[in-house]
Amino acid sequence: MEGTEKKILFSAVQPSGAVTIGNYIGAIRNFVGLQEDYNCFYAVADLHAITVKQEAAVLRKNTLSLMALFIACGIDPAKSILFVQSHVPAHCELTWVLNTITYPGELSRMTQFKDKSAKHAENVNMGLMDYPVLMASDILLYQTALVPVGADQKQHLELSRDLAMRFNNRYGQTFEVPEPYILKGNGARIMSLADPSRKMSKSDENPNAFITMTDDRDTIIRKCKRAVTDSGNEVRCSEDKPGVSNLIAIYNAFTGNTNEQTEREFEGKGYGDFKLAVGEAVADALAPIQSEQARLLKDKAYLDSVMKEGAGKAFRAARRTLSKVYRKVGFYSGE
Ligand code: ATP
Ligand code: LTN
């Protein structure tokens, strides 16, 4: 079938720090397989990243690294449109219009806003609150049908759907109403290694809470060995064993096992053997991605050309929707 008949898919990751295996398992890994069946747009969400304090030089570096990581993980610039969010001004332009149909109460009750406001009490800014509207703009600009994300983004996606429907009701059919694509089972939400009641987050102040995509083998194994587990000594996935269940989810993500297969594999063995095996499986899976990312980062001209081409294509697609929006709301554009 021709590419033009494929539905559109959009997702993004923030360059707000070292990407974790939570981001990889919950989001990036799934981006790769979806490239065959959808017209995919994948963005580095730098506009979102500045809703918490970033160091300019570090943000620039993280943007380039994330672009290289996308490609190293298997996103093919010949199949998907890879770009940096701030290179396409329509994201900010649509955000302004969508702000006028968003109620403050919808934003102030968002879980992520409440969590991040508590965590960054010294910098509770309007951007942090408006974050989900910018995210809705990212999605709606491309007439997106499907949005692959981790479970933590479900609430934001609900808002994107509400805003699409609200705008369509008020101004006439303009936006496709997007569907979330969230993994089933324990991979959709990888938990902190230090506290399995919280999600693994790249901005956690404790580096032992997460494994990054660039951690070396020894670090990965050490972090797995230190991971908080539960009482008992049995490798079994269950609600009363959040620490072990989380390690099983990680192990399965990198080995392709099911919960049952992993439980059988470690029957009669203790947590020690299991944690070592998890660390080795993660390190083995990340090694080829790491070397490819390092190779790409040496070829800045190539990365720049991918970004430039992606931004051009995204710009044209976004313009079509933005022009329609501007017409519907009544902005004068000359005779
Ligand atoms: P921060 O911790 O700085 O808020 P983050 O890692 O939560 O960042 P993003 O970079 O915006 O946030 O996340 C990119 C993608 O990774 C999203 O689809 C998100 O749902 C997914 N994701 C993030 N953390 C996890 C996790 N622990 N488990 C599964 N998926 C995750
Ligand atoms: N907020 C997202 C990252 C993101 C995103 C998007 C995801 C920004 N824009 C559009 C999907 C679609 C997060 O995962 N924290």
Q: Give tens-digit pLDDT for 100-140.
A: 999 999 999 999 999 999 988 999 999 999 999 999 999 99
Task: Look up 61 and say whether it is catalytic.
Answer: no
How does residue 4 score in pLDDT terms, banded at 50, 70 and 90? low
| Cβ neighbour number for residue 272 with a 10 Å cutoff | 11
Residues 99, 301: Cα–Cα separation, whole Å: 37
The pLDDT value given to residue 289: 98
pLDDT in tens, 58-77: 999 999 999 999 999 999 99
Residues 29, 197: Cα–Cα separation, whole Å: 23
The one catalytic residue among 202, 223, 241, 275: 202
Q: Is the pLDDT of residue 260 over 60?
A: yes
What DSSP string runs through 145-188?
SEEE--GGGHHHHHHHHHHHHHHHHHH-S-S---EEE---GGGG
Task: Look up 199 and say whether it is catalytic.
Answer: yes
CA 203 / ligand 1 centre spacing (Å):
10
Residues 252, 235: Cα–Cα separation, whole Å: 13
Q: Is 64 in the pocket of ligand 2 (CB under 6 A)?
A: no
Q: Is 192 in the pocket of ligand 1 (CB under 6 A)?
A: no
Show the DSSP H helices in 172-299 as ranges: 217-226, 242-255, 259-265, 271-297
Q: Is the pLDDT of residue 89 over 90?
A: yes
Task: Look up 275 and say whether it is catalytic.
Answer: no
Residue with tokens 């694509």: 181
Q: Is the pLDDT of residue 17 over 90?
A: no
- Copy the structure tokens of residue 181: 């694509």
Nearest CA to ligand 1 atom 20: 150
CA 334 / ligand 1 centre spacing (Å):
43
pTM, rounded to two decimals: 0.95
Q: Is 161 in the pocket of ligand 1 (CB under 6 A)?
A: no
Report which DSSP code applies to 16. Answer: S
Residues 166, 245: Cα–Cα separation, whole Å: 40
**Number of helices (H) and strands (E), helices first, in the chain?**
14, 5
Q: Which of 11, 34, 85, 95 to mutate to test the pocket of ligand 2 (most atoms within 8 A of CB)?
A: 11
Q: Look over the chain and give the mean of its residue pLDDT values, rounded to a whole number.
A: 95
Nearest CA to ligand 2 atom 4: 12
Q: Is 182 in the pocket of ligand 2 (CB under 6 A)?
A: no
Residue with tokens 């939400």: 189
Q: Which of 46, 48, 183 to mutate to test the pocket of ligand 2 (most atoms within 8 A of CB)?
A: 48
Task: Show Cβ contacts of residue 310 under 8 Å, excluding neighbours closer than 6 positions.
Answer: 77, 81, 82, 83, 84
